[in-house]
Amino acid sequence: MRKIFLFTCFSFLFFSACTNVDEHVYDKYSEKDFYGSAEGANVALAGVYAKIGGNWGGVGYAGADNGWYDLNTMSTDEQVIPHRNTGDWQLDFARLHLHQWLPTDYIITNTWNWLYSSIFSANLAVAQLENANADPAKIAEARVLRAFFYYLLMDDYGNVPFYTENTITVDKLPQVSRAEIYQFVVDELTNNVDKLSTNKGGEYYGRFNRWAGYALLAKVYLNAEVYTGTAKWNECLAACEKLAEGGFSLHPGTANASSPLGYQYYELFGDKLPDDETILAIYVQANVVSRNIFTIRSLNGPHALALFGFNGWNGTIVPKSYYEKFSDADIRKKQFLVGAQPGGVTYTPEVTSLDNPGADRNAGVRNIKFYPVTPMDGGGASNDFPIYRYADILLMQAECHVRLGNALQAKSLVDAVRIRAGLNALTANPTLTDIYNERALELNWEGHHRQDMIRFGTFLQPNDFRGASEEHRKLFPIPTDALNTNPALKQNPGY
């Protein structure tokens, strides 16, 4: 396995030479001296980065279950875990897909708790580093991390409690508007991104360097009209152009017999992710740092057993209408499985019910985009997860150009992504529909589709399993537990 193992003597998140244990005796340092040192600054940051990796109990950005990733993907048309008519699987996932979630739902509460726990850790790191007069780049990194979590929070929940110092109790946290959170995030990023390291890979694999900071800023601007009512297409373009100074390119999509899916393209979802296209990733080593369950959760038990030596979970499926968006010439269609499989399993694309009585055991298209890499077992694999990659940035630029009336400038950007996937170039300048569809094909299962659907006005439209949704479903509710803890909070309209 081609993996860089990230750790220090205090954390596995950064490189260090832990065999030399006699260089520093940290318990003889003052707190200021410790966090002012390069090693101490990395320890402070490691406590925040540890929040991003996915793990059990709804913790993390992506990789495990019942948390942010599931909330933001299963509420779209790209995936769902149906309740099975054999009695398997909780109804929470089906309710997300049917837009029937409630403020008491487990996944909604988990995501809220994870984000506020992460903000607490980021606040702590900012205070430790600032009090120690640490390297300005490390202080900037902590501030950008905090902005990342606030961006995710306002994206999901709208008007939310806000704090930057861990000196106020939860029941006293003030709730501020989504527009105010947006402005805080933009200010933090514009004031700090240029202070971040320009290094790529190595110690900065899985960390916010300058290029990852600009990717985040571009994402915030891309969705600014949703958050504030005022579009920021030019600002998004400018952030993308700054990111391009990092020297990124599309990873090759050429045929590769050594790949289980047949193409170099799938290296983008495997072990150590290629740094030509990957901007920010979650480092994963199952049972050590995070885990990636996505393929194992999708495959039926005997099928996974035949392939990997352990049972799959028979969970996540891809709705038939989404699967049918992909043409046979598209190498990205290789991620899906239908029909007869090893282990005596045959997957059928048709799913007649998500919740009552539920789907047949083998109903539903399965997804192996994150084809498991070792170490792996029935609890997950070691595929790293791409938070931001350059194909996304190209399509963001294309969208901004079209929205600004410059469709001609968008064509080469969209065509580059299509041609890498084995498709022909567009025969005309791209429309917004072309870009929306290309994003759905390229970024499937990577956590961007809910934002895209809301921004393009498709999130409330009927899908394979439900009719049109109410306007208030564009936001998730403030969890009941949070309202009970802080009575001053106001619930989002409609809940």
pLDDT of 438-462, one tens digit each? 999 999 999 999 999 999 999 999 9
Judged against a pLDDT cut of 80, whether residue 20 lies above it is answered with no
Residue 308 lies in a domain: no
Residue 440 lies in a domain: yes
**Gap between the Cα atoms of 11 and 20, Å rounded:** 15
Judged against a pLDDT cut of 90, whether residue 482 lies above it is answered with yes
Confidence of residue 32 (pLDDT cuts 50, 70, 90): confident
Quote the Cα angle for 19-20-21, to 5°: 95
345: left (phi over 0), alpha (psi -120 to 50) or beta: beta
> What stretches of 159-242 adopt beta strand conformation (E)?
160-161, 175-176
Residue 74 is encoded by which pair of tokens?
A: 């299963």
Contacts of 194 (CB under 8 A, 6+ apart): 210
Residue 457 lies in a domain: yes
Residue 477 lies in a domain: no
The proportion of the chain whose per-residue pLDDT surpasses 70, expressed as a percent, equals 94
CB 154 within 8 Å of CB 181: yes
Number of folded domains in the chain?
A: 1
**Gap between the Cα atoms of 29 and 432, Å rounded:** 57
Residue 359 lies in a domain: no
Q: Which domain holds residue 435?
A: 36-286+386-464
Judged against a pLDDT cut of 70, whether residue 107 lies above it is answered with yes
Contacts of 90 (CB under 8 A, 6+ apart): 83, 106
Amino acid of residue 489: L
Residue 10 lies in a domain: no
Residue 487 lies in a domain: no
Q: Using CA of residue 195, residue 201, residue 203, residue 206, what is the dihedral sign?
A: positive
Judged against a pLDDT cut of 80, whether residue 28 lies above it is answered with no
Nearest residue to 400 (alpha-carbon basis) of 239, 291, 290, 279: 239
Residue 183 lies in a domain: yes
pTM of the predicted model as reported, rounded to 2 decimal places:
0.94
Q: How many CB atoms are closer than 10 A to CB 372?
A: 26
**Gap between the Cα atoms of 31 and 131, Å rounded:** 9
CATH number of the domain within which 209 lies: 1.25.40.390
195-236 residue pLDDT tens: 999 999 898 999 999 999 999 999 999 999 999 999 999 999
